[in-house]
Every structure is written in C-alpha cells, then in structure tokens.
C-alpha cells in the first residue's frame, strides 16, 4: 500500500463558509463551528480566526459567541459594535450574555474536513514499526520549521555525527503554509514542508540514520504525531522531541539532571521525559516516531546531547530555521528598496 499525504483543505475558507450559514437572528459558539469542522479541539483556532480574517461590512462573524453565550471579542475591537449588530438582528444580550436556548444555530451543512484528516492519522498508525535499533546511529539529523510574518514556512535540516555532535551538512526549504496550527493536527501544517525538505536531502544524498523531529511521535492523541507521520511516509527512522508534553501523563517533580521517566498513555509507557541538563529544570519529552522503539529513541537522543536542553541536531535546526525566517522578512522588505548600487535584493539565497 502506497501512503501519501491526504488533500489538505483550506480550513479558513471552510470556516468562513460555515459562519455564513448562520441565519439572521441566530448565533453559534466557537465550539459549534469547531464541531462542524470535525473536531471540538479546533475551537480555540476558530476564535482566533474570527479576530484575524478578511472582514467587510457584510461579514456575519458578529454571530459567533462563547460557549456560555458571552459576546467575546469582535474584529472591530469594539464589543459595542457586536452587541449593536446582534440587537438589530433580534438577538438581545443581558449582562453580556446571549440566551443560547433561544438563538443557537447548529444545523450546518458541512463535510467536516477534520474528520478526514483524523482518519488519515489513524491509517498511519497501522503502519508504524517500533523495532529496536541494531546499533546506535552514526548520523542523526534534526528538522524544525519556523514561520515568517507573511505566513511562509521555513523548514531546516541539520545532519550531525552522533559520536562528536559536529554538524556535517544542512539545508532549508521555503514554502507557503495554508493550514493553521490546531492541537493534534500539526502534521497537516508542516508535513508538506518536511516532505519537500527530505526530498531535497535525498537528492543531495545526506540521509540520516535517525531524524529527530520537533514534534510528537507516539505521545499524541491518536499515537500519530508529526514524527510518526513523517517516518511512515518516508520510510525513515524518526523520534519526536518536544519541550512541552502534548499528550500523556508523567510526574516530573524532583527529576535529577540526566534522569528519565516513562510517559504513560492509558497506562502504557510510550515516551520518555528526560531532564537533559542541570541548567534546565524542565525535561524534554521524547517518543518513537517510526522504525525505532522507546529505548532506542532515548539512547539516540542521549547520544547527541552536548550540554544543552535540546539534542545538537535539533538545536541547530531550530536556529537555522529561525534565522532563515528572519532573513526572509528582511529581504522581502528590501525587494523594493535599492541598495547603494541601485540593484534590488531578493529573499532567496
């Protein structure tokens, strides 16, 4: 079976189509719209999008309210504008609350796009292999993605020797990014970039034995974090590494430098909390992505720790992607500003 990325929807356009279905005299909560998209976990992003979208006088975004009927914020910055528009449509509020029992609308026509993406993650899990490595890797890479103010993604790949931690090769790719950040759906925001990045790596013949991914592996709501998804799509050994725990439980109180503790999901140890240094009080969280087991994932990360909280390949990938994203902003500003020779500069180097 050939696995590929599913079609990734324009979620902002999907959301706008949904809120334009809310009739005059009715309201919907951010959670109602998230449900219509296919997952209540998107409610926070719905609220963010309601405050940062292309708005005009005909836009019905004033019909979006909080779960308790509270008016919430409004894109104009003036809550009185929202209250006035709702009142003109027959929706009164008392003490800042709309009576949802009288005005709530939930009968959206929708194909629930997040459901299809969730099913794609569930399908990936069936192909995950958690096998112990025969030996420690010789070459370990880190991949990370940063974003410019214009919404472009910059993905960085840094290849390092496990024995020394020395960087031996690095590269970046830049691409527009459409899909928003929604908890547990990071794959669909960053995978297109990372797949293109690893295509370039293969063309340049700099493939790593193990790739460390800035994101979760099995420590994910569906055991299908971005490290897992990327590993299965590419047939690559991957480990997810995060600074915050996305999913699972672990007691990190009183951890000593160098100590690790298992992270549990439904009582099963699927990842590791590791306090990498004495200078960092909080641990990092590791989990296998694909073609490596939990012990192998921890051993690989430990092999490339060099006194920082993050393992060396990820530390440098993070820096490289951030610097390239900043350069993109700088050079985009320079595009229409001649230098001393009268020639413009572009953002690509």
Residue-by-residue DSSP string for 161-188? ETTT--EEEEEEEEEE--SPP-TT-THH
Instruction: For residue 221, give Cα distances in angstroms to 46, 55, 69, 218, 321.
Output: 20, 34, 29, 8, 27
The answer to whether 65 and 71 have CB atoms below 8 angstroms apart is yes
Of 174, 206, 176, the closest CA to residue 349 belongs to 174
Show contacts of 129-136: CB within 8 Å, 24+ apart.
129/290, 129/291, 130/288, 130/292, 130/293, 130/294, 131/291, 131/292, 131/293, 132/292, 132/293, 132/295, 132/296, 133/210, 133/237, 133/292, 133/293, 133/296, 133/299, 133/300, 136/162, 136/299, 136/300, 136/303
Calpha distance 238→286 (Å, rounded): 11
Residues 6+ apart with CB under 8 A from 25: 89, 90, 91, 103
Question: Residue 33: which of 52, 12, 54, 53 has the closest Cα?
Answer: 12
Cα 213 to Cα 316: distance, rounded to the nearest angstrom: 12
- Which residues are CB-contacts of 315 (< 8 A; sequence separation ≥ 6)? 142, 308
To the nearest 10 degrees (0 to 180), the angle between helices 11-19 and 30-37 is: 120
Which of 14, 49, 59, 61 is the catalytic position?
A: 61
DSSP sequence for 201-241 = HHHTT---SEEEEEB-SSSSTTS--HHHHHHHHHT--EEEE
- Is 61 catalytic? The answer is yes
What DSSP state is assigned to residue 104? B
Catalytic residues, by residue number, are: 61
């Amino acid at each position: 079976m050939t696995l590929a990325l599913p079609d990734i929807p324009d979620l902002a356009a999907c959301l706008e189509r949904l809120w334009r279905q809310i009739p005059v005299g009715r309201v919907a909560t951010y959670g109602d719209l998230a449900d219509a998209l296919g997952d209540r976990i998107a409610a926070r992003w719905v609220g963010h999008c309601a405050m940062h979208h292309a708005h005009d006088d005909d836009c019905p975004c004033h019909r979006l309210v909080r779960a308790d009927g509270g008016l919430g914020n409004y894109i104009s910055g003036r809550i009185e504008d929202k209250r006035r528009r709702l009142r003109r449509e027959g929706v009164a509020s008392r003490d800042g609350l709309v009576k949802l029992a009288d005005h709530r609308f939930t009968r959206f026509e929708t194909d629930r796009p997040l459901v299809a993406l969730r099913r794609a993650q569930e399908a990936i899990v069936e192909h995950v292999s958690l096998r112990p490595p025969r030996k420690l890797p010789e070459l370990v890479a880190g991949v990370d993605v940063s974003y410019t103010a214009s919404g472009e993604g910059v993905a960085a790949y840094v290849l390092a020797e496990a024995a020394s931690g020395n960087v031996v090769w690095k590269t970046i790719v830049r691409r527009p990014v459409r899909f928003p950040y929604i908890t547990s759906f990071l794959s669909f925001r960053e995978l297109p970039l990372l797949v293109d990045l690893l295509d370039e790596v293969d063309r340049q013949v700099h493939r790593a034995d193990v790739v460390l991914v800035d994101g979760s592996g099995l420590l994910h709501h569906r055991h299908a974090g971005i490290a897992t998804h990327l590993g299965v799509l590419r047939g690559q050994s991957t480990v997810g590494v995060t600074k915050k725990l996305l999913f699972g439980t672990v007691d990190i109180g009183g951890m000593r430098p160098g100590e690790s503790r298992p992270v549990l999901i439904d009582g099963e140890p699927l990842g590791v909390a590791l306090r990498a240094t004495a200078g960092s009080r909080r641990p990092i969280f590791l989990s296998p992505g694909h073609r490596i087991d939990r012990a192998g994932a921890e051993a690989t990360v430990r092999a490339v720790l060099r006194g920082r909280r993050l393992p060396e390949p990820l530390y440098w990938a993070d820096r490289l992607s951030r610097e390239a994203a900043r350069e993109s902003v700088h050079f985009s500003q320079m595009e229409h500003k001649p230098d001393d020779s009268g020639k413009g500069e572009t953002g690509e180097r």
